[in-house]
Amino acid sequence: MTKTERVDRSLAGREVDRPPVSFWYHFGVQHAPGQRIAEVSLEFFRYYDLDWLKLMNDYFYPMPAGTMEISSARDLNRVTRFDPRDTAWAEQLKAVSIVVQQLQAAAYVIDTVFEPWQVLLRNLVGEHLEAMVEQAPQAVLDALDVITDNVIAYCRESLRLGSRGIFLSTFGSAKQVPRERYEKFAKPFVKRIFEAIKDAGPMNTAHVHDIGIYVDDALDFPVPILSYEDRHPSNPGIPQMRERFAGTIMGGLDKDRVTRVTPAEAIRNAQEGMRLGGRTRLLLAPGCSFPTWLDPVTARALVEAVKQAAA
């Protein structure tokens, strides 16, 4: 069974020889051009012989020209619509194009994107966000509206270039943001993005980040795939989530049991994930990024254990 056949069959609810498996981490090369991102991503993918590639995207949302800080409602007016091909995101799009061309039909690529709320937090507003939400909530919402349009434009271009789907990270968890704030400032914009691209991304994935996820808020995104930390006790396990979510779960691997453990423990991690996830509608993966200081021997042993499940 080929990599794409395995993924397609699992997504369709058909039995596979074994679960498709993949994992990822942040390469720390966001200073480099798209060509380098593509090279290191392909090298990583081929070394571990993964079933699909989640292309990391560590390029930050571009600050408005001449701006080093947004700290007031007036400053937020500088957040305007743009063509992503005219920004630093063009380098990520270049990486998408190269990776898709290199892999051809051998494997699928999904592209990583951060929700508009995280865009504000990561660099646009940063340390001022808490105060601005309290003092100028409508200005924040207006800026989120503009950012959402820009993110949609980026997603559409990535999909046009051959991404199989958009892996969109959202802070839908108690550890990251109070639920009332999430439902006002984050979730509506995530839904809008997925609605805009739902017909173009058969592997669109809602990644609900961190622990204590708001399960009810994760269930109505128009996506075929849900990613979250199913192995953490604060979140529902895959069997429990399947009772409420009819699509595919991207999970099963405990991200905290691949470093500072023996290869044998990583193998047990994979075996447990396969047992919990079942024979179909499972993309075996961690609920979040693996640590960058991953032992290649351990990681390859994990992948080999999954492959042996097909024997």
> For tokens 């020889």, what's the residue?
17
Local confidence band at 91 (pLDDT 50, 70, 90 cut-offs): very high
220-236 pLDDT, tens digit per residue, is 999 999 999 999 999 99
How many angstroms separate the CA atoms of 269 and 254, rounded?
A: 7
Tokens of 110: 């999904």
Residue 311 pLDDT > 80, yes or no? no
Neighbour order of strands in the sheet with 205-208: 52-55, 108-114, 165-170, 205-208, 225-227, 248-253, 282-286
Q: Count Cβ atoms below 10 Å from residue 115 Cβ, excluding itself.
A: 26
pLDDT in tens, 174-214: 999 999 999 999 999 999 999 999 999 999 999 999 999 99
Alpha helices in 28-128 (DSSP H): 34-48, 73-76, 89-103, 116-119
Q: What whole-number distance in Å separates Cα of residue 187 and Cα of residue 209?
A: 13
What is the C-alpha separation between 175 and 205, in angstroms, rounded? 21
Which top CATH class is 3-308?
alpha beta
Which pair of structure tokens corresponds to residue 143? 């800026």
Quick: pLDDT tens for 92-143. 999 999 999 999 989 999 999 999 999 999 999 999 999 999 999 999 999 9
Whole-prediction pTM value?
A: 0.97
Percentage of the residues of the chain whose pLDDT score is greater than 70? 100
Label residues 284-298 b or e (16+ Cβ within 10 Å = b). Answer: bbbbbebeeebeeeb
Please say if the pLDDT value at position 310 is more than 90: no
- Taking only the tens place, the pLDDT of each residue in 287-303 is 999 999 999 999 999 99
The token pair at 278 is: 């079942």
Q: What is the rounded CA–CA span in Å between residue 77 and residue 156?
A: 25
Q: Which of 48, 53, 50 minimizes the C-alpha distance to 203?
A: 53
* pLDDT on residue 279: 87
**C-alpha to C-alpha distance for 76 and 87, rounded to whole angstroms:** 18
Q: What are 218's two structure tokens?
A: 């994760």
Q: What is the pLDDT of residue 1?
A: 94
Mean pLDDT, to the nearest integer, of 246-272? 97
How far apart are the two ends of the chain, measured CA to CA in Å? 12
- CA separation for the pair 182, 117 (Å, rounded): 9
Cα distances from 260 to residues 59, 235, 266, in angstroms, run 29, 23, 10
Q: In whole angstroms, what is the distance from residue 114 CA to residue 88 CA?
A: 15
- Residue 147: what pLDDT? 98
70-90 per-position pLDDT tens digit: 999 999 999 999 999 999 999
pLDDT recorded at residue 270: 98
Give the pLDDT confidence of 5-20 residue by residue, as tens digits: 999 999 999 999 999 9
State the virtual CA torsion across 155, 159, 164, 167 in degrees, nearest 10: -10
The pLDDT mean for the chain works out to 97
